[in-house]
Amino acid sequence: MTTKTAFASLILALLAGSASAQQASRASNVQPQDKTQSSPRLNPVAERADRLSNHMVRDLHLNNYQATKLRAINADKVAKMAAIERKNAGNQKLIDEECNGVCKERDKELMAVLSNDQYSSYFGSRATYYRYDKDYASQSASILLTNSVQNPSPARANDATIAPTPERPANRPAGNLGRNAR
């Protein structure tokens, strides 16, 4: 009897080990969503600032310290420009005037961060950077709208999305098929 009991307990231990290994492999396939990072769809201003900063870092050949400072400056200034664009929608002349004031603020801040050669290169290319940012802003609004319609964000915390309900069959079986059916 003890041999059978030992054999049975060995089999149960092996089965339990393989079952837990299967559950662990299933659990590792699911990637949890990183909720600390904002998505571009939810924060287009940050995406716009990052895109401009990346372009400027490449063009001006900035080191890590300068790039970090530039990203902070651009995040602040692009947020201000986006607020101006929303507030004065439709009045392009007023938007350009107020955004030029924000760009002058950025010029003063960048003067402290960039070397003389880098600032000279930046100063000569200011109009190009401004146009690059404006083109992306006008283009991204339509892209973001299209993406949000084509790929709706989760409607609830359990990542359920809004979608059409499945069609029900036209001919349903007759009779009581509930729990009382025998």
Domain of residue 106 covers: 74-148
Instruction: Tally the domains of the chain.
Output: 1
Identity of residue 65: Y
Q: What is the pLDDT of residues 14-33, one digit of tens each?
A: 666 655 555 544 444 545 55
> What are the residue ranges of helices labelled H in the chain?
2-29, 44-60, 64-87, 92-113, 116-124, 126-150
Residue 158 belongs to what H/E stretch? Answer: none
pLDDT digits (tens, 9 = 90+) for 115-133: 999 999 998 988 888 888 8
DSSP 8-state symbol, 167: P
The answer to whether position 39 is within a domain reads no
Question: For residues 114, 120, 122 and 128, what is the CA-based torsion angle, rounded to 10 degrees?
Answer: 180
Please report whether residue 51 resides in a domain.
no
In a domain, 130, yes or no: yes
- If we measure between CA atoms, which residue out of 121, 130, 105 comes closest to residue 58? 121
Distance of CA 36 to the CA centre of its chain: 10
What is the distance between the alpha carbons of residues 39 and 55, in angstroms, rounded to a whole number? 20
Residue 173, Ramachandran bin (φ over 0: left; ψ between -120 and 50: alpha; else beta): beta
The predicted pLDDT at position 181 comes to 58
pTM of whole model > 0.85? no
Q: Let me know if residue 9 belongs to a domain.
A: no
Domain presence at residue 86: yes
Calpha distance 102→87 (Å, rounded): 15
CA atoms within 13 A on the CB side of 78: 25
Q: Does residue 131 fall inside a structural domain?
A: yes
